[in-house]
Amino acid sequence: MTKPVIAIDVDDVLLPHFEGLVTWYNAEYGTNLTMANNHPVNITPWGADNIEEAVKRVHRYFETDAFKNEKPYEETGPALTELGENYELTIITGRDEAIEDITRDWLETYFPSVFKEVHFTSLYSLVGKSRSKAEVTALLSADYFIDDNLPAVTEVAASGVPSLLFGNYPWNEAENLPENVTRVADWAAVMEYFNGRI
């Protein structure tokens, strides 16, 4: 019997990524970014003249030991191991293909042989190769989707895939969630959601 597919994001779902980025970025560029500045619409707080410059700055963080040594949430590993017994787990990350090797190495270090596939959508690509997570979930025929990005979750949910909005972050606040979207505060809530579904 084929296992149902759960597509899972990386940053701020498997690990607390943005907090480390903000800390480094503020120290490096003298800005005052907060957790609310993730997935920016307004580039002004990033102290850059345009989105391309801000993205290039962020890409510098990817070269640091701080980035390479980011640790997953403590409860992520046990949760994924348990989910993997009944579901096929796949990664769909907004990370750029430029850090594909680093990302794959990180996943294999902390979650060896957990994920069947890893897909990069290059949300903030410098070379124009980005694609939507809804497009990838459709290609995978994913049965569920877990992400912290409200617009991505909304788009995937609109295609009929039950979607979990991960975390109570400043960037994904919403008074009312779209149809087919369930907020999960942490991995314990994820496990509660999937409990008894198979």
- The CA distance from 185 to 152, in Å, is 17
The reply to whether 43 and 93 lie within a common domain is: no
Secondary structure of residue 172 in the 3-state scheme = helix
Domain residues for the domain of 57 are 18-68
Sheet (strand 5-8) strand order: 117-120, 88-93, 5-8, 144-147, 163-166, 181-184
CA distance 67 to 169: 20
Express each pLDDT in 80-127 by its tens digit: 999 999 999 999 999 998 899 999 999 999 999 999 999 999 877 766
CB 142 within 8 A of CB 5: yes
What pLDDT does 52 receive?
87
Q: Looking at the structure, do residues 55 and 153 belong to the same domain, yes or no?
A: no
79 shares its domain with 166: yes
Q: What percent helix, strand, coil does the chain show, rounded to 5? A: 40, 15, 45
Please indicate, yes or no, whether residues 11 and 52 belong to a single structural domain of this protein.
Answer: no
Say if CB 165 and CB 153 are below 8 A apart: yes
Q: Residue 156 has which token pair? A: 């995937």
* Claim to verify: residue 95 and residue 175 sit in the same structural domain: yes
Between 191 and 51, the higher pLDDT residue: 191
What is the CATH number for 168?
3.40.50.1000
**Shared domain check, 180 and 87:** yes
Which of 26, 53, 68 represents a domain boundary (last residue)? 68
Confidence of residue 69 (pLDDT cuts 50, 70, 90): very high
- The verdict on 63 and 77 lying in the same domain is no
Question: What is the model's pTM?
Answer: 0.94
49 and 129 together in one domain: no
* Residues 58 and 86 reside in one and the same domain: no
For residues 98 and 73, give the distance between their C-alpha atoms in angstroms, rounded to a whole number: 24
Q: Which two tokens stand for residue 176?
A: 């009312």
Claim to verify: residue 77 and residue 35 sit in the same structural domain: no
Residue bearing tokens 């890409």: 59
Asked if 85 and 34 sit in the same domain, the reply is no
Q: Could you give the number of structural domains in the chain?
A: 2
Query: Do 62 and 99 have their domain in common?
Result: no
